[in-house]
Structure 1
């Protein structure tokens, strides 16, 4: 797409208003002389989207039912009532997601926001599992504080970054394009020069690709700090729960402690 529209950018000429619209515009531009192909493309997108949403809502309803509804319901629940409850959860979840689309529509392009959110969540999981597998000192309190702190900190960065993008204070840096090869008269608005304006805090200007890395760093640092403060001396960490790399350091630490105990007992005698 970039090769085709490098010299005639449809976003600059006003043919499309968002970067999300370039793909369907490209399909209509290339396949407009082939009857049925644009419709087949749209049908494929809708089919894949509906299939994905169906799987997600079914999984979500089953998870909510098993984790929350079962805990507060009686043991003798009929299968018919269970089916009605699952369908109700799907309806409520779908309604909430539909309402949220009206707010997301005001946030500009979805690509950056979705990737930023995925980076945040993925970083939390990677940081949490890495904390437990690599560091023997880690405990539940440290893991909880690390995840909550990382979610609040990086979540604030995601929200503020999107807010400044909507205001036009910061912007992404796409590949260079022009309109010199376009036919006919076009209107082109030069972007506002923000070099002399006051820039936001540096973390709010970071690319969304750094969110996962930041999440892992915050979870690890906060988790280790809280675990060190709340550590218990007599807690034994099973080597089977740690990664092979961590087991080497754990064995070395155990060997050093045993050697120190032997020397201490020898000196006492």
Structure 2
């Protein structure tokens, strides 16, 4: 990314010229404070949506938890999160700069309109070929960097999912504990199967629009449900497994319904999101035909407009950043409703260790004041001696 930025800045005439071109093209949109939930990318949609997504990725996801628990101390896990945050912000900053460079390069000759590329996701490879194609070996270095980072992420994710699937599903059907070799072989087979599924889904994903919206939309189905069920267990100690699972299933089904409806409308061309103004006035004559002008964009306002043919239900026009939030809210609504109807957990019979520390003083105080001698339960504290023998303390 640094190589691309340095060469791009030199090619574009310096930072001042890049800033001027992007400003004139209405690309420097820092904060869009539009509260409209149907606006695609605003301060509010991204703030709420990304916050829940990062809670899912860092606070709950097995790939993060496995790394945290591999560290010797809690303080080390906190340091890892801080370093991760710094690194992520640097990568995001580099991505923004590359975006500015892309527009500075193609502001008067849109490669999508002239059919040099067929998808917006292809513009970065085109840009690399355009500005650095003459440097021998550089394209190979950049491609290998992209492939290595992608494979590293995929490898970690597949290993995490493989271990989770094996522990939660396969191991429970075994009458005896498998050896380490058998477990390793089983997880490798799971990785291969999952890898084949991921590769086959490429042909589906390429028809679902831009990669950013596709990734956020698809992951919101599971992320919203998982954030709900963990949060529900933390903040609602009176919740039951029936209520929690009911909310989980409802969350997945409801968000999937919205996702399928929206993606179908996008694939059929009934729901579109025109981009900001583009031009082909600076293209060479052999690239410009009369029909090319039909593919340029003319919008100069804030954000991105949502255009439909009038047949798309309003719920499908909702910003994709809200899918994960909806998943959490639907889960809580259904979970609480089910528990209210069918009965809640009796807190007097609940082990205090199962209650979040932040809630214990409120819940346990209620236990103490509402319980009587016939329902009181004495909990035994266990202190571990140095010789590994247990000593009971009243």
Shift of 1:253: 6.7
1:159-212 deviation line (CA, Å, top 9, x unaligned): 1111111111111243322222223242416369x9683231111111211111
What residue in structure 2 maps to residue 190 of structure 1? 294
What residue in structure 1 maps to residue 196 of structure 2? 95
1:231 to 335, 343, 348: 343
Deviates more, 1:83-92 or 1:32-41: 83-92
What residue in structure 2 maps to residue 42 of structure 1? 143
Kindly tell me the number of residue pairs found equivalent between the two proteins: 256
CA contact (8 A) 2:239 2:344 kept: no
For 1:1-269, list aligned pairs within 5 A: 1-75=102-176, 77-184=178-285, 185-187=287-289, 188=292, 190=294, 197-232=309-344, 234-236=346-348, 238=352, 241-242=355-356, 244=358, 250=363
What residue in structure 2 maps to residue 265 of structure 1? none
Equivalent-residue separation in structure 1 for 2:193 and 2:338 (angstroms): 38
Shift of 1:61: 2.5
Shift of 1:134: 2.5
CA contact (8 A) 2:246 2:334 kept: yes
Deviates more, 1:129-138 or 1:7-16: 129-138
CA contact (8 A) 1:138 1:228 kept: no
CA contact (8 A) 1:134 1:243 kept: no
Equivalent-residue separation in structure 1 for 2:123 and 2:215 (angstroms): 17
CA contact (8 A) 1:137 1:224 kept: no
1:113-137 deviation line (CA, Å, top 9, x unaligned): 1111222322222222222223344
CA contact (8 A) 2:240 2:345 kept: no
What residue in structure 2 maps to residue 264 of structure 1? none
Shift of 1:223: 1.3
Structure 1 residues 199 and 253, CA gap change in structure 2 (3 angstroms)? farther
Structure number with the bigger relative contact order (C-alpha 8 A, sep ≥ 6) is 1
Structure 1 residues 22 and 243, CA gap change in structure 2 (3 angstroms)? farther
What residue in structure 2 maps to residue 262 of structure 1? none
Structure 1 residues 95 and 234, CA gap change in structure 2 (3 angstroms)? closer
Shift of 1:71: 2.2
Gaps of 5+ in 1: 259-269
Question: Which of the pair is proportionally richer in helix?
Answer: 1
Equivalent-residue separation in structure 1 for 2:152 and 2:172 (angstroms): 30
Gaps of 5+ in 2: 1-101, 298-305, 372-394
1:87-124 deviation line (CA, Å, top 9, x unaligned): 32222222222222222233343321111122232222
CA contact (8 A) 1:141 1:227 kept: yes
Shift of 1:73: 2.8
RMSD: 3.0
Shift of 1:255: 9.4
Equivalent-residue separation in structure 1 for 2:104 and 2:370 (angstroms): 64
